[in-house]
Structure 1
């Protein structure tokens, strides 16, 4: 029995794995084979490779939004909220190396227009921008465009963890805390 019984999910999972392994040049036939579906069946779910890649972007965006766009806890200070976001982002990027490589690859080699990617990741980006702006208004985060500060924070985490993955040892608590502290230091007012 399939570990992922839903064909749509299997296709997205297969496309994600092959994009990480082979890049965007992977064929629709290879994706169908990896997913255990007929190539014609794949086209019932995604009418083009671009549509499939949009689906992959959408899946990553959903996972990120669900994990990272958490409402502030009652009484939580803007600083604590940003620090919590940093910790959640570190965990999100670290826990699944394939997803992290996929996100990094799609971010650096987009198949779709930046405007389309912006729409797909809009809720996640809007959440981070609002969080940074709130922290700026409270005097906790340095001044500057919230979009730029949020992008810097996420990029710093992704790049640091990408380099750290060259060591097969698990990420230690001390390393996680150091990455979080460095991010916060870069953002703090």
Structure 2
């Protein structure tokens, strides 16, 4: 079973890598070559390129879930929960440049229908919505629509860090803290 998971993961990683480098201009043959599998093997796991792209989105969703979804007990304040989410988002985006580029590309140039995209990211969106809704109900966040607030947090962080990478900057702890504070200040009540 691990062998099956390994091949599928290699195919998804290869597709992700090639999308980062060339957009969607990569062929299934090229994906197979980068993954180190036969082209037919790609089709054993993914019936079409569209199916493979859905797999790339799904893989990205799983990574986001692992990085961002942290359940807190009632002893943790809503402010601490939101600040943790912001910090975790910064970590998620900064930790892997290729994943950040892929996330940005797939967010800006959706390669699947919007409804499918919403379904795939629903677990992350639901967690973010609950976090923001509860914090807003507790009176610590501005009274803005959840989708706007969630989009601002993610988009603001992704865009800020993207431009830091473009100019070759590192992310020092004080700069990271400043980005997190900017994000918090923009949404805090």
**Bin for the TM-score computed over the shorter chain:** over 0.9
Q: CA deviation at 1:6?
A: 1.3
1:165 is paired with a residue whose SS is helix
Aligned to 2:101: 101
The answer as to whether partners of 2:164 and 2:170 remain within 8 angstroms in 1 is no
Q: Match of 1:64?
A: 64
Matches within 5 A, 1:125-136: 125-136=125-136
**Structure 1 or 2: larger helix share?**
2
1:160 aligned residue: 160
Q: TM-score, normalised by structure 2?
A: 0.95
Structure 2 counterpart SS, 1:71: coil
Aligned counterparts of 2:103 and 2:60: Cα–Cα separation in 1: 7
Asked if residue 81 in structure 1 is aligned to residue 81 in structure 2, the reply is: yes
> Structure 1 residue 111: deviation in Å?
1.1
**Residue 121 of structure 1: SS of its match in structure 2?**
helix
Partner secondary structure for residue 6 of structure 1: helix
- Within 2, Cα distance between the matches of 1:34 and 1:127? 34
1:14 and 2:46 correspond: no
Distance 2:167 2:21 in 1: 19
In 1, the alpha carbon distance for the partners of 2:108 and 2:169 equals: 26
Q: CA deviation at 1:114?
A: 1.1
1:104-151 Cα deviation digits (max 9, x unpaired): 111111110111011111010110011001011111000011121111
CA distance in 2, matches of 1:30, 1:183: 40
Q: CA RMSD in A?
A: 1.3
Worse-superposed segment, 25-34 or 165-174: 165-174
Q: What is the CA-CA distance between 1:74 and the residue it aligns to?
A: 4.3
Residue 30 (structure 1) shift: 0.5
* Equivalent position SS for 1:85: helix
Is 1:33 matched up with 2:48?
A: no
Q: Distance in 2 between matches of 1:161 and 1:6?
A: 31
**Which blocks of at least 5 consecutive residues in structure 1 are unaligned?**
none
SS of the residue corresponding to residue 61 of structure 2 reads: helix
Q: Deviations over 1:144-183 (max 9, x none)?
A: 1112111111100000000000233421001100110000
